[in-house]
């Protein structure tokens, strides 16, 4: 069970609730306020003990214990370290799944938080601690509302979102998380620091980019740096490839479409005075368009093949398909937008016009079942500009008021989608 800053559930004085007499929506607001501190306690505890993808052993155990304690039917080791909680409603209806990711990043935390990471070199810098805590809060409140639940609720605690191309969603799907009972629709959320707390960002259609990995090994031949004519310089060949790759985006793709090819890692060479015989380029390809996604590997290989051949080198090329785009379902998104308007007000609805090219493996779920994914603003409006840090930054501090907003919008959406 949770330790340290976690609140003891037994000290929580739950108010007597008469479901028959109070409107469910008002009840949700009340319950969210009641559970807020407990959920913040969960979040701080998870934040303090972050675990990397597919190693979320302690986090999974905490989730499992809480769900069992609440009375959920719990399945563990789904997709390795994933946990699933099932609540069967009294009336027949659709099965709604809600997903939270649980993994942290290999980043050393640089905040002054009292609940700063105690695991060296590992940090919840993408807010997955908040997602897990919010879903635990949803678990508490839906259990309180179990008498009015229609259909089934499946709470999916997913491991390893950050490990593209081998994220945790795929493994959970392969282990049957969307079956038994069959999931009819799905919801997910992400805290989003570029949106101020209180607001929720959403859009119809494509919500995130596809995120693929590329690895290029360029091979040449060693020689002394003073006699490059006796070798084949893998460094110079790589430099040509690096620049030429950018022409795919600028010359082969319409300027009205979105695509990025970035090489983030270059390794090779052993000495300053030796022509290198091998350089490895690692990078990523992001796009919002499946047709472009299919065309890119062919274009990349054509360039590599032509350049290495012209310069007497050879190559190995691997294109690893990672996460597909998250594409929001029209009908579910319409309902969620209504739920946002009714629960937190239209002024807090942030309709995203253009999505960025971040990747999100919720895309695998959204490919299988109609789904909607939304962003919960988590930057306090009081934060000065130089203290506003993005996700994956060691200085990131998430405004915990976002937890209440996430809970309210998620719970109201679930209730509306049950109808």
Structure tokens at 182: 């069959």
Q: Which residues are catalytic?
A: 323, 400
| 49 vs 323, beta carbon nearer Zn ion | 323
Contact window for Zn ion (CB under 5 A) among 119-127, 200-208, 273-281, 377-385: 119-127
Q: How many CA atoms within 13 Å lie on the side-chain side of 234?
A: 23
User: Is 80 strand, coil or helix?
Assistant: coil
| 129 vs 196, beta carbon nearer Zn ion | 129
Strand order in the sheet with 150-158: 73-78, 82-88, 150-158, 91-101, 185-196, 371-379, 200-202, 349-351
Contact window for Zn ion (CB under 5 A) among 118-126, 277-285, 365-373, 382-390: 118-126
Report, in Å, the least distance between residue 192 CB and Zn ion. Answer: 10
Is position 304 an interface residue for Zn ion (rule: CB under 5 A)? no
Residues from 232 through 291 that contact Zn ion (CB under 5 A): none
48-71 burial: b if 16+ Cβ within 10 Å, else e: bbbbbbbbbeebbebbbebbeebe
- How many beta carbons lie within 10 A of that of residue 5, not counting itself? 15
Contact window for Zn ion (CB under 5 A) among 123-131, 140-148, 329-337, 347-355: 123-131
User: Is 148 strand, coil or helix?
Assistant: helix
Report, in Å, the least distance between residue 127 CB and Zn ion. Answer: 6
Task: Give the closest residue to 127 by CA, choosing from 352, 383, 400, 325.
Answer: 400
Report, in Å, the least distance between residue 419 CB and Zn ion. Answer: 30
User: Is 329 strand, coil or helix?
Assistant: coil
Report, in Å, the least distance between residue 162 CB and Zn ion. Answer: 5
Closest residue to Zn ion in the complex (CB): 126
Contact window for Zn ion (CB under 5 A) among 27-35, 109-117, 125-133, 299-307: 125-133
> How distant, in Å, are the alpha carbons of 73, 101, 142, 170, 412 from that of 408?
24, 19, 12, 28, 6
| 131 vs 203, beta carbon nearer Zn ion | 131
| 56 vs 240, beta carbon nearer Zn ion | 56
Number of residues engaging Zn ion in binding (CB under 5 A): 1
Contact window for Zn ion (CB under 5 A) among 69-77, 121-129, 134-142, 377-385: 121-129
Is position 122 an interface residue for Zn ion (rule: CB under 5 A)? no
Report, in Å, the least distance between residue 353 CB and Zn ion. Answer: 22
Contact window for Zn ion (CB under 5 A) among 110-118, 120-128, 277-285, 310-318: 120-128
CB neighbour list of residue 396: distance below 8 Å, 6 or more residues apart: 111, 125, 127, 193, 389, 390
Is position 126 an interface residue for Zn ion (rule: CB under 5 A)? yes
Q: Are 183 and 106 in contact (CB under 8 A)?
A: no
Task: Give the closest residue to 192 by CA, choosing from 417, 413, 362, 373.
Answer: 373
Report, in Å, the least distance between residue 114 CB and Zn ion. Answer: 23
Report, in Å, the least distance between residue 373 CB and Zn ion. Answer: 11
The alpha-helical segments, DSSP class H, found in 9-164 are 24-48, 57-70, 128-144
CA dist., res. 259 & res. 248, Å (int): 9
Report, in Å, the least distance between residue 200 CB and Zn ion. Answer: 16
| 207 vs 232, beta carbon nearer Zn ion | 207
| 126 vs 232, beta carbon nearer Zn ion | 126
What distance, in Å, lies between the first and last C-alpha atoms of the chain? Answer: 35
Question: Which secondary-structure segment (H or E) carries 281?
Answer: strand 278-287
Structure tokens at 206: 């494509």
Q: Are 2 and 62 in contact (CB under 8 A)?
A: yes
| 150 vs 194, beta carbon nearer Zn ion | 194
Q: Are 88 and 111 in contact (CB under 8 A)?
A: no
CA dist., res. 202 & res. 393, Å (int): 23
| 95 vs 206, beta carbon nearer Zn ion | 206
Chain residues in the site for Zn ion (CB under 5 A) = 126
């Amino acid at each position: 069970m949770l330790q340290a800053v976690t609140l003891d559930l037994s000290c929580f004085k739950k108010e007597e609730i008469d479901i028959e007499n109070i409107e469910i929506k008002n009840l949700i607001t009340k319950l969210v306020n009641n559970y807020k501190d407990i959920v913040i306690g969960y979040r701080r505890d998870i934040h303090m003990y972050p675990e990397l993808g597919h190693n979320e052993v302690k986090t999974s155990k905490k989730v499992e214990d809480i769900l069992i304690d609440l009375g959920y039917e719990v399945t563990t080791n789904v997709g390795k370290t994933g946990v699933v909680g099932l609540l069967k409603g009294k009336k027949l209806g659709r099965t709604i799944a809600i997903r939270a990711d649980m993994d942290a990043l290999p980043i050393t935390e640089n905040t002054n938080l009292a609940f700063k990471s105690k695991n060296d070199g590992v940090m919840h810098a993408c807010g997955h601690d908040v997602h897990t805590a919010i879903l635990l809060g949803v678990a508490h409140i839906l259990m309180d509302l179990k008498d009015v639940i229609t259909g089934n609720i499946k709470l999916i605690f997913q491991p390893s979102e950050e490990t593209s191309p081998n994220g945790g969603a795929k493994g959970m799907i392969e282990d049957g998380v969307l079956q038994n009972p069959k999931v009819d629709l799905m919801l997910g959320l992400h805290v989003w620091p570029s949106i101020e707390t209180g607001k929720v960002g959403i859009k119809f259609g494509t919500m995130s980019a596809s995120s693929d990995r590329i690895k290029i090994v360029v091979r040449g031949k060693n020689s002394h740096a003073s006699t490059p004519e006796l070798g084949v310089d893998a460094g110079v060949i790589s430099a040509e490839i690096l620049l030429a790759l950018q022409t795919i985006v600028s010359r082969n793709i319409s300027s009205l479409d979105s695509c990025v090819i970035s090489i983030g890692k270059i390794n090779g060479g052993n000495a300053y005075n030796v022509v290198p015989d091998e350089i490895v380029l690692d990078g990523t390809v992001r796009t919002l368009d499946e047709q472009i996604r299919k065309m890119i590997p062919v274009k990349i290989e054509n360039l590599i093949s032509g350049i290495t051949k012209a310069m007497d080198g050879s190559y190995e090329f691997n294109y690893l398909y990672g996460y597909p785009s998250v594409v929001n379902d029209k009908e579910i998104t319409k309902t969620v937008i209504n739920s946002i308007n009714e629960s937190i007000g239209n002024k807090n609805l942030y309709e995203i016009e253009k999505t960025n090219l971040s990747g999100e493996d919720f895309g695998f779920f959204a490919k299988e079942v109609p789904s909607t994914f939304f962003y919960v603003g988590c930057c306090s409006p009081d934060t000065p500009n130089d203290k506003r840090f993005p996700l994956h930054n060691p200085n990131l501090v998430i405004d915990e008021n976002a937890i209440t907003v996430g809970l309210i919008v998620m719970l109201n959406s679930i209730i509306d989608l049950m109808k």
